[in-house]
């Protein structure tokens, strides 16, 4: 019992320290709340990997492979971004620091709730909370452009997430009330899948796809994404592109899990494939000729969400690749947003024409940006090569060769677009230097990205045994299998 | 009890159309607040006997949707000193017709869905409120009326949820209410900032961000 309380602590500790950080008067205290909570969260998570915990709250909170991987993403990314944020927030007003730290900690609590919820309505509550926790962070600059971005983000995500709530209610309607079954609990939904009403179930999946798809940023529901990532501070972009979208992917994967258990894979899979391919196409179209590097990263996020949907839709090896890709994508998005953020801060603009020859001004960040470029485009020896390879060979094995070929072509186009802009930023002819210059590169700017780069590199050649086991469990829940 | 439920549901529909046809923001806020009150009462009448669960849900709904949020939104328009038009992109007559079409679609769809038990009006009224909320959200230009549209959409989903109140535990319902409350609260604060920055809360002026 005591060991299961760790699940509650993973959610409650960040929620409580968010309140403490909001009330903390001095920035040193806020920083220690951020880093201390991040460290404790990571330690609790590590203990879950070593010694699994049983379910609590009558099975509402429980650990399974898929949830554990998403929780790991949230925890690692939070600690890296928190470390970066401590340096980033130096010299800001106390009010800004309080809102920023509290928002980040609320995000961690909400993301933990999403990862651990096996009650789908509770998962929704966490998902909505991650959405809201990001709003004050996006509006950090307090100017007209960020105001417009936060308004679009709030309206579109709120409507999307409202549809996801409707999906949860539709799913509850599909489940017959029998004595002994717990409503909306994943295990009971899967066990009693044969008795679920197919008409309500189909409606539930369509609304879940639209709702969680909006939060993931699957095209054509992605329109908030370039504006939001373009205007939000880069570290917030990293937290959203790596953390919030992965939570939304988990929501969609949970609904897919129920549909597959009920034998409705034939209904769900074509929809997921269509959204996945369309997202890749939209990303390719807008990455070519993009003029702003933060918007470029936003479209790269649309691309990777498309790959995740594609893997889910393929099943088999594709489902395995999709779960592994969720992990890889989150790490590399954190890396890219932070180092590109460093370059943008040094150049004072995110327009591609203003960021040039950064290798001289920000040597480490610029090198890491090139590492991130090759990692995010799925080149060996990085983790994304393995996961994208699994998704594409899954397409061949599941007899979707056309899907695989179209996806490969679009990935090639995206590679060219990304490489052209990022290499130009790093290696291009530098603009005439201003006398003051941006100052030296500091350790807080590069320590976190270095850790993320090392992890992505490690996942390209070595998957720890425990991770392989959880990946296989997650893949089999999604109708797939490890290679 | 059954007749009372149907009466309350008819009032919900009338309030949907009241929002579509009203030009004054404060009147729209009053209509949405009244809808919140009806939702609270409906969670008492539609569920059978009065359990502690049903009563606390009704009180929570009324407190959030009929008292706190309308009060907060009225504060926002007073501070932003906007009272006149709601400035629709689509005329009142046209949006009325759109609403009528939505109502017809809602009844047609609900007739094809399997029964959920309880009042037969609940599902069509829920769908109609949801769609009319979306219509308000899309056709109105003032940021604050878009918030009202979002609230109506949430009300529609809440009505649909009433078919399942027995099954969804109170803790989760409280979480849903809290999320809606915080969501509208954050939107209200952004509306306030939009007004200060742009001297108007028209979302049409939010056009700086786009692909070139």
Q: Which residues of chain A from 171 to 210 reach within 8 Å of chain B, CB to CB?
A: 172-173, 175, 177, 183-184, 197, 199-200, 203
Are residues B76 and B190 in contact, defined by beta-carbon separation less than 8 angstroms?
A: no
Taking 50 as the pLDDT cut, the residues of chain A under it are none
Contacts of A173 in chain B (CB under 8 A): 116, 163-164
**CA-based torsion, A434, A435, A438, A440: positive or negative:** positive
Contact present, A295 and A232 (Cβ < 8 Å): no
Q: What is the CA radius of gyration of chain A?
A: 21
Which residues 269-308 in chain A show a CB within 8 A of chain B? Answer: 286, 291
Helix intervals (H) in B46-80: 52-61, 69-79
Residue B211 with chain A: CB contacts under 8 Å: 226, 286
- Chain A neighbors of B114, CB-CB under 8 A: 197, 199-200
H helices within A315-382, ranges in order?
A: 317-347, 358-361, 363-376
The residue among B142, B178, B193 whose CA lies nearest residue A136 is B193
Q: How far is A178 from chain B (nearest CA, A)?
A: 11
Q: B49 touching A, CB under 8 A?
A: no
- Residues A299 and A282: their CA atoms lie apart, in Å, by 8
Residue B146 has pLDDT above 80, yes or no: yes
Q: B109 and chain A: CB distance < 8 Å anywhere?
A: no
Residues 6+ apart with CB under 8 A from B199: none
Chain A hits for B176, Cβ within 8 Å: 121, 124-125, 165
Could you read off the pLDDT of B55-114 as tens digits, one per residue?
A: 888 899 999 999 999 999 888 878 776 555 556 667 778 888 999 999 999 999 888 887
Share in percent of chain B as helix, strand, coil (round to 5): 75, 0, 20
Please, are residues A14 and A109 in contact by the beta-carbon 8 Å criterion? yes
What is the ipTM score, two decimals? 0.90
How large is the C-alpha radius of gyration of chain B? 17
B45 or A66: which carries more pLDDT confidence? A66
Calculated CA dihedral for residues A443, A445, A450, A453, nearest 10 degrees:
180
- pLDDT reported for residue A437: 66
Rounded distance between C-alpha atoms, residue A82 and residue A14, angstroms: 13
Closest CB from B176, B197, B212 relative to A147: B197
The whole-angstrom distance between B166's CA and the closest CA on chain A is 10
- Over the stretch B61-73, which tens digit does the pLDDT of each residue have? 999 999 999 999 8
User: What pTM does this model have?
Assistant: 0.94
Residues from chain A that touch B187, judged by Cβ atoms under 8 A, are 154-155, 158
Contact A287, A296 (CB under 8 A): yes
pLDDT score of B209: 72
Asked if residue A316 lies in contact with residue A394, where contact means CB atoms within 8 angstroms, the answer is yes
Q: How far apart are CA B17 and CA B92, in angstroms?
A: 10
* pLDDT in the model for residue B1: 67
The residues near B169 (Cβ < 8 Å, ≥ 6 apart) are none
Residues of B in contact with A143 (CB under 8 A): 197
Confirm if A83 and A448 have CB atoms less than 8 A apart.
Answer: yes
What integer best gives the mean pLDDT of chain B?
Answer: 84
Cα(A241)–Cα(A228) distance, integer angstroms: 11
Chain B neighbors of A162, CB-CB under 8 A: 150, 153-154, 157
- Convert the pLDDT of each residue in A13-67 to its tens digit: 999 999 999 998 888 999 999 999 999 999 999 999 999 888 998 889 999 999 9
Beta-carbon separation of A184 and B198 below 8 A: no
Say if B202 is an interface residue toward chain A (CB within 8 Å): no
How many whole angstroms separate alpha carbon B163 and alpha carbon B122?
8
For residue A473, give how far its alpha carbon lies from the nearest alpha carbon of chain B (Å).
Answer: 28
Beta bridge partners of A359: none
- Cα–Cα distance measured from residue A349 to residue B41, given in angstroms and rounded to the nearest whole number: 54
CB-based contact A186:A254 (threshold 8 Å): yes
CA distance linking residue A391 with residue A339, whole number of Å: 28
Q: To probe the interface with A, which of B149, B161, B174 has the most A CB atoms within 10 Å?
A: B161
**Which secondary structure element, helix H or strand E, spans residue B142, and what is its range?**
none
């Amino acid at each position: 019992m005591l060991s299961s309380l760790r699940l509650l602590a993973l959610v409650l500790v960040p929620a409580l320290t968010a309140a403490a950080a909001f009330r903390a008067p001095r920035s040193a205290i806020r920083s220690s709340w951020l880093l201390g909570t991040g460290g404790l969260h990571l330690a609790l998570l590590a203990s879950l990997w070593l010694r699994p915990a049983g379910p609590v709250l009558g099975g509402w909170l429980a650990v399974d492979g898929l949830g554990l991987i998403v929780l790991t993403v949230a925890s690692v990314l939070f600690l890296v971004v928190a470390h970066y944020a401590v340096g980033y927030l130096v010299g800001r007003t106390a009010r800004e620091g309080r809102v920023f730290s509290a928002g980040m900690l609320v995000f961690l609590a909400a993301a933990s709730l999403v990862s651990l919820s096996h009650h789908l309505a509770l998962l929704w509550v966490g998902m909505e909370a991650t959405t809201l926790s990001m709003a004050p962070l996006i509006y950090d600059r307090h100017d007209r452009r960020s105001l417009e971005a936060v308004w679009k983000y709030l309206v579109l995500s709120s409507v999307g997430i409202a549809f996801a709530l409707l999906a949860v209610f539709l799913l509850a309607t599909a489940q017959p009330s029998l004595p002994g079954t717990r409503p909306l609990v994943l295990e009971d939904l899967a066990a009693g899948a044969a008795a679920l009403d197919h008409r309500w179930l189909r409606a539930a999946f369509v609304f879940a796809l639209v709702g969680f798809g909006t939060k993931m940023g699957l095209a054509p529901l992605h329109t908030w994404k370039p504006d939001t990532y373009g205007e939000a501070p880069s570290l917030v972009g990293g937290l959203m592109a790596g953390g919030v979208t992965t939570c939304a992917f988990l929501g969609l994967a949970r609904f897919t899990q129920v549909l597959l258990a009920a034998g409705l894979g034939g209904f769900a899979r074509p929809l997921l494939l269509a959204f996945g391919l369309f997202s890749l196409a939209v990303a390719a179209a807008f990455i070519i000729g993009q003029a702003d590097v933060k918007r470029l990263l936003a479209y790269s996020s649309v691309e990777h969400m498309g790959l995740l949907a594609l893997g889910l839709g393929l099943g088999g090896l594709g489902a395995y690749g999709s779960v592994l890709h969720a992990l890889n994508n989150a790490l590399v998005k954190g890396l890219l947003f932070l180092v590109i953020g460093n370059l943008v801060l040094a150049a004072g603009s995110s327009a591609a024409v203003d960021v040039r020859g950064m290798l001289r001004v920000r040597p480490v960040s610029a090198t890491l940006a090139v590492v991130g470029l090759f990692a995010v485009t799925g080149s060996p020896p990085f983790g994304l090569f393995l996961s994208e390879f699994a998704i594409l060979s899954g397409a061949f094995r599941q007899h979707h060769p056309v899907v695989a070929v179209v996806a490969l072509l679009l990935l090639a186009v995206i590679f060219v677009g990304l490489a052209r802009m990022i290499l130009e930023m790093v290696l291009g002819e530098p603009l005439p230097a201003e006398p003051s210059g941006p100052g030296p590169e500091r350790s807080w700017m590069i320590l976190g990205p270095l850790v993320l780069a090392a992890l992505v590199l490690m996942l390209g050649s070595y998957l720890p045994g425990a991770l392989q086991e959880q990946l296989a469990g997650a893949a089999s829940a999604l109708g797939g299998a490890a290679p | 009890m059954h007749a009372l439920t149907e009466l309350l549901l008819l009032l919900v529909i009338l309030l949907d159309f009241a929002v579509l046809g009203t030009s004054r923001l404060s009147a729209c806020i009053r209509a949405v607040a009244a809808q919140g009150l009806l939702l609270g009462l409906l969670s008492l009448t539609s569920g059978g006997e009065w359990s502690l669960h049903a009563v606390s849900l009704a009180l929570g709904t009324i407190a959030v949707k009929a008292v706190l949020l309308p009060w907060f939104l009225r504060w926002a328009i007073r501070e932003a000193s906007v009272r006149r038009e709601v400035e629709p992109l689509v005329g009142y007559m046209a949006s009325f017709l759109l609403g009528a079409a939505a109502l017809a679609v809602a009844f047609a769809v609900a007739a094809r869905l399997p029964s959920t038990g309880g009042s037969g009006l609940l599902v069509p009224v829920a769908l109609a409120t949801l769609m009319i909320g979306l219509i308000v959200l899309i056709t109105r230009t003032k940021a604050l009326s878009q918030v009202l549209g979002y609230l109506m959409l949430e009300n529609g989903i809440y009505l649909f949820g009433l078919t399942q109140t027995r099954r969804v535990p109170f803790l989760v319902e409280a979480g849903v209410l809290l999320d809606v409350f915080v969501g509208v609260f954050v939107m209200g604060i952004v509306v306030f900032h939009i007004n200060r920055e742009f001297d108007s809360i028209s979302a049409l002026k939010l056009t700086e961000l786009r692909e070139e």
